[in-house]
Structure 1
Amino acid sequence: MRIIFFSHPEFLKSTSMPRFAAMIAKGMEERGHEVKLLTVESFFFRNSAPQEIKKWLGYLDQYLVFPITFQKLKRKYPQDTLFVFADQALGPWVPLVRKHPHVVHCHDFIAQKSALGEISWNKTSFSGKFYQAFIRKGYRKASNFISISEKTRSDLHRFLKEKIGISEVVYNGLNQKFSPDDSGKALRFVEAKTGLTLPGGYVLHVGGNQFYKNRSGVLKIFNHYKELNDSPVKLLMVGAAPTEKLQKIKANSVFSKDIHFIIKPSDEFIRKVYQAASVLLYPSLYEGFGWPIAEAMASGCPVITTREAPMNEVGGNAAFYISSPPEDIVENNIWLQESANILSTVIQLSNEERKEVVEAGIANAARFDTKEALDQIEVIYKKILKTYGNESS
């Protein structure tokens, strides 16, 4: 196959989507296909300007300059070229290749749903609503889609108006090697890197500050757990630097000395911090997939997450589930009590019980294999080419 991948421009400083595009492109290249990765070059954006203005200059690069330059490039590509969009947010470019073999990878529709007022937690500005409508108008022109979960595919179909050609689900493959290891050895590594002493173990959360990650919920559940239990367990919040809101919650907690933010960790640290954790606490409100759930399980770490899709889709029968709180009861002690009780249950598992939970998690995480995911994607790509009358090899 000859495959052209579209990815987000580097100047947006996004990491997950370009990494995803590079992973698939590399996988297809390793399978013997001719691959090219296309993205937007900085033209207007590289000019010195205030950040707010640079955002709009970036839009000019993406939606004015790039379409013009791509039209010239497109003439060089044979009819049997497959055009692949690494993210549905690249929807505005779909009309450029609508009549050619193409497919859109779909991750999550949180921004789309927020813009339509479907998520009260996250208000969207007028310009944000316009931008999401622009994206939606674009990906609706596509015929073929690959979603990362059944939940994402369900959301996609709800937003589409025109007839769908091919719409498949391929679960994400883990993008690095996660596996269990000696927890004592991993704990010593974590202590050495952080300067902390963690004899009682720790509750782990991995994630950014997006509203749907519910990091404030993590802090509140932990505080409630500590109030109910005389426990030396600490909380490690690994990922982005805490927001002002999170810092305030910590400062107001009587257990603030047990709460620690680990910022911008290395991949090695992420692997070790999963291996040594007592439990991953991941009360996310919305996701497209939920990487940390699978990563933790593959590392031998029990997982507590919300019982909403796709978290329960990823966690399967191997996770412990809590309710996902609606906005008006986040402070409600009933939800906190339920969540803290489950956290207590997991932390107090006997060695035998924990062993069973860990084994179930490892078996469940085996579903998310990168090679298998790439194999499935390759089959779908060939299937799409065939529908356009192009056989592939």
Structure 2
Amino acid sequence: MRIVLFTHPAFLASQSMPRFAQMLRHAYTARGHEVQVWSPPARVRRWVRGPLSKWAGYVDQYLLFPLWVRRQLARVPEDTLFVMTDQALGPWVPLLRGRPLVVHVHDLLALRSALGEIPENRTGLSGRVYQRYIRRGFQQARHFICISQRTREDLRRVGGVDPLSCEVVYNGLNQRFARIPAAQARVQLRGAGMPVAPGGLLLHVSGGQWYKNVAGVLRLYAHYARAQRHPLPLWLVGVPQTEAVQAVLREVPTQGTVHFLYGIDHALLQAAYSVSRAFLFPSLAEGFGWPIVEAQACGCPVFTTDDTPMNEIGGPHTFYLRRLRHGEDEQAWAAEGARLIEAVINETPADAQARAQTCMAWARRFDADRAIGQYLQVYGQVLAGQQVSLNADMARTPA
């Protein structure tokens, strides 16, 4: 296949979407497909600094880049498949009217926030306008691949999409995660100067975004630590120490220990998952929930929110906490969750080992090669359908 991937411009701060696009490019090329990547260069934005740089970026993305795309389309064969690697690239969809196109949909949290569905994340006027602009674009596509059932439901419900096809393909881990023997993992972590307690640790991994509910993680730990004489330490990996985080940190009793860790590479993260007694991930929302699968692949039991897509991704072997509602008494919620965490930490070694095995078995279904194969299958079906449609149009055309 000839495939053109539309991606976010390199000058944006996003990391996950460029990684996803590069993963697709490498995987498709390795399978013998001809792949191009189209992305707006920083023509205007490179000359603008400060608050106006965002608007200069919009000029590059939505004024100059479409002009370049229209010129390129005249040179691209008709049997080329176009792929939007993120539904947030929706404003470019109308450029490809009549061409075979598939849109990858990751999550619609920004749109849901703009529509007032998520009170924990209010959106300003410009953000609401921008999300509607994106939606008007991707609504014109007809073929979609969603990362979860929840995303597919949201695409129809808040996205207002009436697709010809809309497949769910779960993300595959783009890095290998596997359980490391505990002794080996401790040596590895201590060699990097990381404070590993003999009994293990509790772990949370995130960038501290609003939906990660870091305050909830700290309150869960505070309630757990109050009931223990020697509580396990909590590691917060990648979490910024904001004023809000520092305020909740004061609720942790003196016998508790919280470590903030940064710059941890893949090998050290895998080791941390492997010695962790529980992974705390009580998100208010998620697009997919990568860390859930990463922890499970390392045999670590996961505590997350009993809401989609977390309970869809976590499966039957995950421990679920009820979703913390806006304005709810967080202390009662945390006390309830802490009791469940304590029970799991105190289970027998045999039960812990059995649980690790079931977690690892579940995580194996999130395989990158499987996901790539499913993407390409959808692409082939879209191309075949486009060809059938073109042949039908030709047959109806008078000689």
Q: TM-score, normalised on structure 1?
A: 0.96
- Name the aligned partner's letter for residue 104 of structure 1: V
Distance in 1 (CA, whole Å) between partners of 2:88 and 2:216 is 28
Are 1:200 and 1:232, in contact at CA under 8 Å, matched by a contact in 2? no
Alignment match, 1:276:
275
Which residue matches 2:382?
384
Corresponding residue for 1:100?
99
Query: SS of the residue aligned with 1:108?
Result: coil
Report the counterpart of residue 186 of structure 2 in structure 1: 187
> Which segment drifts farther, 278-287 or 153-162?
153-162
* Shift in Å, 1:248: 2.5
Partner residue in 2 for 1:199: 198
Partner of 1:81: 80
Q: What corresponds to 2:286 in structure 1?
A: 287
For residue 46 of structure 1, what is the aligned residue in structure 2?
46
Match of 1:90 in 2: 89
Q: Cα–Cα, structure 1 residues 271 and 330, in superposed 2: closer, same or farther, change >3 Å?
A: farther
Gaps of 5+ in 1: none
Instruction: State the AA in 2 paired with 1:73.
Output: Q
TM-fit CA distance, 1:200: 2.8
C-alpha distance after superposition, 1:164-218 (max 9, x if no partner) = 1110000000010101110121123223324424123110001112111111110
Judged with a 3 Å threshold, the aligned counterparts in structure 2 of structure 1 residues 91 and 194 are, in CA distance, closer, same or farther, namely: farther
Q: Does structure 1 residue 139 correspond to structure 2 residue 132?
A: no
Q: Deviations over 1:96-130 (max 9, x none)?
A: 11210001101111110000000000010111111
Aligned residue runs from structure 1 range 135-284, under 5 A? 135-161=134-160, 163-255=162-254, 258-284=257-283
Alpha carbons of structure 1 residues 283 and 144: separation in structure 2 relative to 1, 3 Å: same
CA distance in 1, matches of 2:23, 2:388: 25
Matched positions, count: 389
Q: Tell me: CA distance 1:72–1:360, structure 2 relative to 1, closer, same or farther (3 Å).
A: same
Q: Is the 8 A contact 2:44 2:57 kept in 1?
A: yes
Tell me the alpha carbon deviations over residues 6-39 of structure 1, each in whole angstroms, 9 at most, x when there is no partner: 1111111211001001111211111111001111
Aligned match of 1:11: 11
- Cα deviation for residue 356 of structure 1 reads 1.3
The answer (yes or no) to whether the contact 2:200–2:232 under 8 Å persists in 1 is yes
| 1:359 corresponds to 2:357 | yes
Contact 1:223 1:255 in 2 (8 A): no
Measure, in 1, the Cα distance between the counterparts of 2:363 and 2:287. 17
Distance 2:183 2:339 in 1: 26
CA contact (8 A) 1:122 1:211 kept: yes
The answer as to whether partners of 2:207 and 2:239 remain within 8 angstroms in 1 is: yes
Displacement of 1:270 in angstroms is 1.4
For residues 383 and 256 of structure 2, the distance between their equivalents in structure 1, rounded to whole angstroms, comes to 58
Residue identity in the other structure for 1:379:
Q
Q: Which runs of 5+ in 2 are unaligned?
A: 390-399
Paired letter, 1:11: F
Q: Which residue of the partner structure matches residue 393 of structure 2?
A: none
**8 Å contact from structure 1 (residues 217, 330) kept in 2:** no
For residues 6 and 386 of structure 1, the distance between their equivalents in structure 2, rounded to whole angstroms, comes to 21
Matched AA of 1:213: K
Q: CA deviation at 1:162?
A: 5.1
Q: Which region of structure 1 is more displaced relative to structure 2, 191-200 or 62-71?
A: 191-200
Cα deviation digits, residues 125-162 of structure 1 (max 9, x gap): 11111111111111111111000001111100113445
Cα–Cα, structure 1 residues 192 and 247, in superposed 2: closer, same or farther, change >3 Å? farther
2:397 aligns to what?
A: none
The alignment-based identity, stated in percent, is: 41
1:190–1:269 Cα contact (<8 Å) kept: yes
Q: Does 1:21 align with 2:1?
A: no
- Secondary structure (helix, strand or coil) at the match of 1:281 reads strand
C-alpha RMSD over aligned residues: 1.5
Q: CA deviation at 1:330?
A: 4.8
What CA deviation, in whole Å up to 9, does each residue of 1:357-388 have, x standing for no partner? Answer: 11110111011000011011110000010110
CA distance 1:170–1:197, change in 2 (3 Å): closer
Letter paired with 1:383: Q
The alignment partner of 1:171 has SS state of coil
CA distance in 2, matches of 1:114, 1:162: 18
1:231 to partner: Cα distance? 2.8
Do 1:205 and 1:237's aligned partners in 2 also have CA atoms closer than 8 Å?
yes
TM superposition shift of 1:255: 3.8
